Structure 1
Amino acid sequence: MYHHLLQGCRLQSSHSAGRAATSRREKIKMEAAASNPSSKRIALVTGGNKGVGLETCRQLASKGLEVVLTARNAARGLEAVEDVRRSGADAVFHQLDVTDPNSVARLADFVRDQFGKLDILINNAGISGVDRDPVLVAEVKEQVESMDVDQRVQWMKENSKETYEEAKECMRTNYYGAKLVTEALLPLLQLSSSGRIVNVSSGFSLLRNFNSEELKNEFNDVDNLTEKRLEELLDSFLEDFKANLIEAHGWPTGGSSAYKVAKAALNAYTRILAKKYPRMRINCLTPGYVKSDMSMHMGVLTPEEGASNPVKVALLPDDGPTGAYFDTDGVASFV
């Protein structure tokens, strides 16, 4: 069912499109290999115009990396690049809608033509998957400092409405968007001597949020889980969401259900990729509970503090972990 709704993002799953995508990836790889790769390490960050994404760009640039800052909105992306430059670092901008295959293809062509390779991909772009009243969000900002963490989370849960349309868009952006970008840039990452993929996940991704042991086991069974099966599970979730069967079938409840499932799927995809490309370091992480638009600015960490984890994971040594999940203290359990 869901593949009809996401045909833009899942078009490449069909046999004919798959052959075309493979051919395109090989072409990118060959053309990039023929060019002169940049001597600097190249990092690309999706959703880089604000919050953790912007601070990740700033911190990587300040460490001497060549940073490609991407954002869906070109005006905001260009403003973000100027923000980075005002801080004494530098970045270049390229427009990117992670849900649009044509936009993703243009980005891959740009990176190939401009740099000839890619060393680090940070999939940071994401949405909350819930509908929130902007008036309430504006009003609560004045009360936030007097709330403890539990009160903040509870307020968000009570004032966030989940709809089927929001759930679909959450999957489309947080899982399929990251996958689309990753697949397009993999040929360039493979040209790096130290390729890194960093998927920005969440503490909500942990499998303890699932109420079905069977579902927990499926998402955690990295030895047998495939991308095809993972997407079948996401289709099942959306069917259950539409039929109001989330609780009955053991999916995460208590708010942000789609977000929890999408991020759990992103974690599983991270582990599948790490097995498939053992020479690279491919990991996922939570930046922590950050004050950002995603958290309605009710978090406890600043964006600068939140960005430290993606930066740390992006710069892991060549013998560092792969296929791992990092919280703010280091490698942690997926469960």
Structure 2
Amino acid sequence: MELFRWWSKDTIAIVTGANKGIGFELVRRLAGLGLTVILTARDIERGHRAVETLKDEGLDVHFFCLDVSDPSSIKAFVSSFKQKFGVMDILVNNAAVSFNAIGENRVVHAETVIKTNFFGPKMLTQSLLPLFRRSSSIARILNMSSRLGTFDVCEFRGDWESRGWPEIWTDYAMSKVALNAYSRILAKRYKGQGLSVNCFCPGYVQTSMTRGTGTRTPELAATVGASLALLPPKEIPTGKFFMGCSPTVNSRWWSKDTIAIVTGANKGIGFELVRRLAGLGLTVILTARDIERGHRAVETLKDEGLDVHFFCLDVSDPSSIKAFVSSFKQKFGVMDILVNNAAVSFNEIGENRVVHAETVIETNFYGPKMPTQSLLPLFRRSSSIARILNMSSRLGTFDKVKNPGVREILQDEQNLTEERIDNILKVFLDNVKRGDWESRGWPEIWTDYAMSKVALNAYSRILAKRYKGQGLSVNCFCPGYVQTSMTRGTGTRTPELAATVGASLALLPPKEIPTGKFFMGCSPTVNSRWWSKDTIAIVTGANKGIGFELVRRFAGLGLTVILTARDIERGHRAVETLKDEGLDVHFFCLDVSDPSSIKAFVSSFKQKFGVMDILVNNAAVSFNAIGENRVVHAETVIKTNFFGPKMLTQSLLPLFRRSSSIARILNMSSRLGTFDKVKNPGVREILQDEQNLTEGRIDNILKVFLDNVKRGDWESRGWPEIWTDYAMSKVALNAYSRILAKRYKGQGLSVNCFCPGYVQTSMTRGTGTRTPELAATVGASLALLPPKEIPTGKFFMGCSPTVNSRL
């Protein structure tokens, strides 16, 4: 989870073409991590606007004008850069152009495309090579590339259309072919000399080049790109081509000969899984029961340069399954990966009708079971471990079945058989026909759908046990609450995010892939699970935003979660929303700015639960819009964001139990509150003096700050320049966290801070670049790190759990 931090403020990174899109997000990411970053753009006005935007977020970035298609501009830039900085650590060649819309393939601007996308980066790179310093660490060049530019797209079959050039965006593709080839030459030339050269294809991203039609956000692409650029010196490779928005998939055991089937794949998660697997170079079979929709899906992927095979398959129809298996066997003969994704539900969110129970069971359980059994002889086990990934749901975990006799059968792993599963389903359908199913202890949410997934999970367990050690891995994956037709688009996770994780699970290295596991949520890491239903977590300020998503995430993972909010009505509404999703959450009223409310909460909580495992101090306020810096509410901000969490934490400390696992406090913080934002040298010295820092000294600093606010001279006293009152509340919270971490080190209590980045919340007026769901996914992963891995006294920055620094 933790990326060794080799860089510092003296580490210098250049990102070209960075006034928007992926380049802009890369600058934001690298600057947020503390590097000195140079943002370049050919348009001076847009470049300055981009820098101002980042400055409003508290990031210090340098702007240089650079048009990579103009040799004189490159020469002028290198001269100015050399004069100002003299040395260089990281270069991200991001600037590129294309003049085609999706589906077009014109080459009228081919010379400009080649000049901008290849000769420009090449000339710039060669001009900067003497400035790459290799003493402090390995220097890095990351060339932003494309899968359209991989060498296999050049099929020399035989004017340009008939000469075997790439068929999709030919001029752009050839510029990337050249860039990939040049990168290979450079990597070979400088191997072992302290310079790493790699290429990175971020996938189909929502940028001006794709007219905003991509399936990945620039922020996601930049998060992965920055992680690749910042790999530890001992781990960073050279001469590699990284593909897609996941840096983990490059331990690649697969090839073009690896065959994967995804059922129900004309839309939603299934479609995104096909896109992901095909983009990674596998041979992928997209199946759908509707021939026209299936062909349309394949055409869409073909327009993106992906070669996918379509087969018609209706998993609810035995004759369709038989025909599919016969055709597939005839064409391919062998099989490596099967993703059973096809499923149906006839309920809206909040409904629970069972009129279509037989169809649901037939489609969601017997449908996947029959193709799986028919395809088992085709799974080849020589080249690698074969994989079955069954798309499941937390609604189908065995604890959702309240009937004790049925649950006992399901949990008796030694004696569980396919016949027993069939008998359970027969009893369930009989209850449905008689109309007494509601009183028989079946799952309470989407009962028919839940039972189909209960059966699928049970069958997966049987298969995993049966083929253990025989070269076949069988796992289930619940992607969470995803925006699909099944949820009427109301989910909180995108199909693309679900597919990214699903593909990562399906492609785990042979030595790492488990069998018989149930992966939950859009993170494959949380299954080293030390927690249980008895693990108790509190999240403050949780009726909306990041807090609400954290509650959803924890509850979905099976913890007992307390959602707190100061507004009783909104708190109850939040709990009801989660209840409709099948999540059981407890609500307590708590206003962290009110000592009497804190006292009442602690008393009620202690009476009901008595012990405590995880506290996430999330509640916070700010009264400034982006770009504003008023301090009229400074006292309220300090009271709510610092003294409130502090009083709550101190009141709950006796309840933290440390026997079963390490207890955890995660304070939601901000990079605006890092100590370097305080320009007053005396105050900064006190904060950085870890040995002598005390709570009293923090209180005194805040007293001086508030006195300056009252006198009106706060702007000249060296306090943070962005959102000053909010920043000072987080400075204090970070300092207090350091004290607590030191005080309880080795005593079973971990205290860390987490800055989720610029998130779309009410505090940012929805203008953030990260979703609350993404922030919560990372925050929950940090809070749930295994006992042997969880640190203390750390400050985690940004929506990636891979980068942290010491508080």
TM-score, structure 1 as length reference: 0.76
Task: Tell me the equivalent position of 1:50.
Answer: 544
Q: Are 1:170 and 1:258, in contact at CA under 8 Å, matched by a contact in 2?
A: yes
User: Which whole-Å deviations, capped at 9, do the CAs of 1:48-105 have from their partners, x for residues lacking one?
Assistant: 1000000000000000000000000000000011112222222110000112222112
Task: Tell me the equivalent position of 2:585.
Answer: 91
- Structure 2 residue identity aligned to 1:327: M
Mapped pair 1:122 → 2:616 = yes
1:40 CA displacement: 0.9
Task: Tell me the equivalent position of 1:332.
Answer: 804
| 1:178 counterpart SS class | helix
Is the deviation greater in 114-123 or in 208-217? 208-217
1:120 CA displacement: 0.3
Cα distance in 1 for residues equivalent to 2:582 and 2:672: 35
Mapped pair 1:171 → 2:171 = no
- Note closer, same or farther for the CA distance 1:243–1:289 as it changes in structure 2 (3 Å cut): same
Task: Tell me the equivalent position of 1:283.
Answer: 752
Task: Tell me the equivalent position of 1:138.
Answer: none
Q: Are 2:554 and 2:780, in contact at CA under 8 Å, matched by a contact in 1?
A: yes
Task: Tell me the equivalent position of 1:261.
Answer: 728
Q: Which is richer in helix?
A: 1
Mapped pair 1:243 → 2:243 = no
Task: Tell me the equivalent position of 1:59.
Answer: 553
Q: Are 2:546 and 2:776, in contact at CA under 8 Å, matched by a contact in 1?
A: yes
- Structure 1 residue identity aligned to 2:557: K
Matches within 5 A, 1:174-185: 174-185=641-652
Cα distance in 2 for residues equivalent to 1:296 and 1:203: 18
Q: How many residues align?
A: 270
1:224 CA displacement: 1.1
1:331 CA displacement: 4.5
Q: Are 2:533 and 2:558, in contact at CA under 8 Å, matched by a contact in 1?
A: no
User: Which whole-Å deviations, capped at 9, do the CAs of 1:268-305 have from their partners, x for residues lacking one?
Assistant: 11110111112211101111211000111000111101
Cα distance in 2 for residues equivalent to 1:200 and 1:226: 21
Identity of aligned residues (%): 40
- Structure 1 residue identity aligned to 2:730: K
- Structure 2 residue identity aligned to 1:50: K
Task: Tell me the equivalent position of 1:187.
Answer: 654
Cα distance in 2 for residues equivalent to 1:214 and 1:227: 17
> What 5-or-longer segments of structure 2 have no aligned partner?
1-531
Task: Tell me the equivalent position of 1:22.
Answer: none
Q: Are 2:533 and 2:560, in contact at CA under 8 Å, matched by a contact in 1?
A: no
1:316 CA displacement: 1.9
Task: Tell me the equivalent position of 1:224.
Answer: 692
1:220 CA displacement: 2.3
- Structure 2 residue identity aligned to 1:287: P
> What 5-or-longer segments of structure 1 have no aligned partner?
1-37, 133-155
Mapped pair 1:202 → 2:670 = yes
User: Which whole-Å deviations, capped at 9, do the CAs of 1:246-287 have from their partners, x for residues lacking one?
Assistant: 23221112x310111110110011110111112211101111
- CA RMSD in angstroms comes to 1.8
Mapped pair 1:315 → 2:784 = yes
Is the deviation greater in 63-72 or in 104-113? 104-113
Cα distance in 2 for residues equivalent to 1:212 and 1:46: 32
Mapped pair 1:211 → 2:679 = yes
Higher relative contact order (CA 8 A, sep 6+): 1
- Structure 1 residue identity aligned to 2:567: N
Q: Which is greater in Rg?
A: 2
Q: Are 2:618 and 2:667, in contact at CA under 8 Å, matched by a contact in 1?
A: yes
- Structure 2 residue identity aligned to 1:108: V
- Note closer, same or farther for the CA distance 1:264–1:309 as it changes in structure 2 (3 Å cut): farther
Q: Are 2:686 and 2:693, in contact at CA under 8 Å, matched by a contact in 1?
A: yes
TM-score, structure 2 as length reference: 0.33
